[in-house]
């Protein structure tokens, strides 16, 4: 009358995989929440210049992006190959920048409206003339905090 019978057979029971979907879903939800989709498709070439004295950009909701550069090969025959400004999803001329900034500013929450930064994502092959014009437009609407977005690297990479 032994209470502790020896189990028969030494086979390991198969590990249940029933909770696998749950784990995967958990990961899935994490990535779904953490994902920030690229809000605008790039229509310009955007190889950023390198710099090493960089500071991190503010949180995404405090930043307005202005892209500039040559139209990418897909749009080259339609828009030519001289550098253009891209606001949101379309090409724009420089004098639309002011209106864009005002519209963007109005769409942000009240308390964020005077801490906004304008990030200039400009292709390294652009001429300063265009950037000068953008800066002038920004000054007109007093969007004075700007950030020349760069990639992190040594400045000598810019010189060839």
Site residues for other proteins per CB under 8 A: 17, 20-21, 24-25, 27-28, 31-32, 34-38, 49-57, 63, 117, 119, 121-129, 131-132, 135-136, 138-140, 142-150, 152, 155-156, 158-159
- Shortest Å distance, C-beta 125 to other proteins: 7
| Residue number, 8 or 21, with CB nearest to other proteins | 21
Q: Residue 16: CB partners within 8 Å, gap ≥ 6?
A: none
| Residue number, 68 or 87, with CB nearest to other proteins | 68
- Shortest Å distance, C-beta 81 to other proteins: 16
Contact 117, 146 (CB under 8 A): yes
Sheet hosting strand 63-69, strand order edge to edge? 90-92, 84-87, 63-69, 117-122
Rounded to the nearest 5 degrees, what angle is found at the Cα of 58, between the Cα atoms of 52 and 59? 135
Task: Give the pair of three-digit tokens for residue 125.
Answer: 């092959």
| Residue number, 61 or 77, with CB nearest to other proteins | 61
How many whole angstroms separate alpha carbon 68 and alpha carbon 134?
Answer: 10
| Residue number, 3 or 38, with CB nearest to other proteins | 38
Q: Find, among 31, 30, 52, 27, the residue nearest to 155 by Cα.
A: 52
| Residue number, 113 or 136, with CB nearest to other proteins | 136
- Shortest Å distance, C-beta 8 to other proteins: 30
Contact 119, 65 (CB under 8 A): yes
- Shortest Å distance, C-beta 73 to other proteins: 20
- Shortest Å distance, C-beta 78 to other proteins: 24
């Amino acid at each position: 009358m032994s209470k502790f019978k020896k189990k028969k057979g030494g086979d390991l029971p198969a590990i249940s995989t029933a909770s696998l979907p749950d784990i995967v879903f958990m990961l899935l939800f994490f990535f779904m929440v953490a994902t920030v989709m690229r809000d605008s498709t790039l229509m310009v070439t955007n190889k950023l210049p390198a710099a090493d004295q960089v500071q991190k950009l503010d949180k995404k909701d405090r930043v307005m992006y202005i892209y500039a550069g040559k139209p990418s090969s897909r749009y080259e025959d339609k828009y030519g190959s001289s550098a253009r400004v891209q606001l949101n999803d379309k090409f724009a001329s420089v004098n639309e920048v002011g209106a864009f900034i005002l519209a963007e500013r109005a769409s942000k929450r009240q308390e964020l409206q005077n801490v906004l930064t304008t990030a200039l994502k400009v292709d390294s092959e652009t001429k300063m003339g265009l950037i000068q014009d953008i800066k002038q437009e920004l000054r007109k609407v007093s969007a004075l905090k700007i950030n020349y977005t760069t990639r992190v690297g040594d400045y000598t990479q810019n010189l060839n």
